[in-house]
A and B are shown apart, each in its own frame.
Chain A
Amino acid sequence: MRRSMLFLPGNTPNIIMNADVLGADSVILDLEDAVAPNQKDAARILVRNALKTMDFAGCEVIVRINPLSSGEWEADLEEIIPWGPDVIMPTKIGSSQDVQTISACISRIEEKHHMEVGHTKLMPLIETARGVENSFHIAEADPRVCAIFIGCEDLTADLCCERTKEGHEVFYARSRVVCAARAAGIDVYDTPFTDINDDEGLRKDSEFAKGLGFSGKACINPRQVDTVNAVFSPSEEAITYAKRVFQVIEEGKRMGRGAVALDGKMIDKPIVDRARRVLEMAELIQKKVTVHE
């Protein structure tokens, strides 16, 4: 479950050391844009030490590495992979070959350190027009790919258009990556909302993303986490309805009925699948609340 993925700058100890209390389902320790070019070495050593010593209290740890064009990405992987991050987020991925190049490098490192090859998952960041158009091939490029993530700031620069709060300019790209991910059977995550002072705008943007089919959304500030978590959590009504779906199915079985209805609506497979997802997610959220209490 990743309702929220919170970006944390990779060279800032006081933020990284509090990563597990910020409420996000996942944290993204960032070695890319949040780190000055002359501090890349310091950030990767700091993030490596954090992975070595912190347990992050059940919070998934994703490490965002530098792009293939940077000359930094291999050093990032060499330092980070041996310490078992849950997911690596490669940046500016434009094709399936990009994913395969990174995956091959990770396999070499896993083998060298006697780790299970394929253990480390990948969440490619799609933030170019080429990446959007190749998104299905990226999603299917390698068994390590567990999800794809769209980043609309760099994307709008590549599209030669202005980034707006309304986001009409990225509607096609968002829809395209959702469709690509779902066709490949993996999760898909939405770009952050960059105005950290506009909570209402964040809520609307998150609801819109959820409506398109995104699994969750990235956050760039801890203040955004609660809103994003709330939007991507099933509502009380949805949980009640999902429970009723399974009650009606059980009753139908007992009475030997082949088909059942709820509130005048036939219960078919998509409704059952959705109800199952809602209840699974509600259970995961309950577990997380219990752990933090």
Chain B
Amino acid sequence: MIPRSQNFRGYLGGWFSAETDLTLYIEACERVPAWLAEDNRGLTEFRDELATHIRESSLPPRHNDSQWGTDEWLRDIWFDAFGPEPAPGDPYPVPAVQWGRVRLTDYMLHAVDEDEEGSSDGATAWLAARGLTAQGVYDAISGDTVRRPEPDGYAEHLRRLTEAGLREQLP
């Protein structure tokens, strides 16, 4: 999918911009279930387009990052916002067991603590919806990480997507 929509830019640079304002990001992640329940159309369009960008590697790389690193960032946002099921059609889904154990997201690093006093008010519900515990995530902060390398054949995968007109050729 190229280029991204105004609606997508609005959510990515606003509600879901952890880099701009973590408080807003955490609130957004916690409000997603309510937004979906009230059939928030902008949000469902953002979700669908996020899935498309993950599937087609079509979001241009972030500053100082690769296409793969950017794809992985979008997968983290997907998990934080929409939960443990991989985005539909994700060609490289993250093994479910990695989340919150060897793979930590912005929500986990900033909204989850072993004590309630240091956690976001919505953390309990957020963790429960993902089958995680506060203690487990807190312990994982000091533990190992799996940072997935570019998969074999990824460059070729990108080339095919580019040829199909789904993404732009990187300079």
Question: Do the two chains belong together in a single complex?
Answer: no
Give A residues with C-beta under 8 Å from B.
none
